[in-house]
Amino acid sequence: MSQRRQPTRVILLGSTGSIGTQTVEVIEHLRRHGEPCEVVGLCAGGSNLGLLAEQAVRLGVPGHKVAIGRSSAGASAELPAELRGAVCGAGAAEALAMPREIGRAHV
C-alpha cells in the first residue's frame, strides 16, 4: 500500500520574471508526473499583469493569494478579473508569506 505524499507548498516570488516563469514550468512538469505541488501564493512587481493572471489560472491560485508590488495596480482598471482581491503595494509579498499560509516556514 503506497502512502500519499503531502504536497510541496510553494509561494512563488517574482513569478513573471525569467526565473519565475521557468519555475512555473518546473511546477507544471512535476504535476504532470504525479508530484504533488501546491502553489499557495504568487507575487510579482506588476509590470506584466496579463502574465500574472495567466499564471494564477494555470496554477490554480485565487486572486486573494496574489501579491502585486505596484501599489497602483489595485485601483487600476487594467487589473484582470483573475487578480481581483490581490494584495497590492509595499508589503504585499510579506502579507502572503505568513506562517499560517505556508505551514512550517516562519517569517
pLDDT at 1 exceeding the cut of 70: no
Percent of the chain exceeding pLDDT 90 equals 56
Burial classification of residue 32, based on how many CB atoms lie within 10 Å of its CB (0-12 exposed, 13-18 middle, 19 or more buried): exposed
Each residue of 5-38: pLDDT tens digit?
A: 888 999 999 999 999 999 999 999 999 999 999 9
Lookup: cell for 22: 521557468
pTM, two decimals, is 0.82
* Per-residue pLDDT at 38: 94
DSSP alpha helix (H) spans, the chain: 18-32, 49-59, 92-96, 99-102
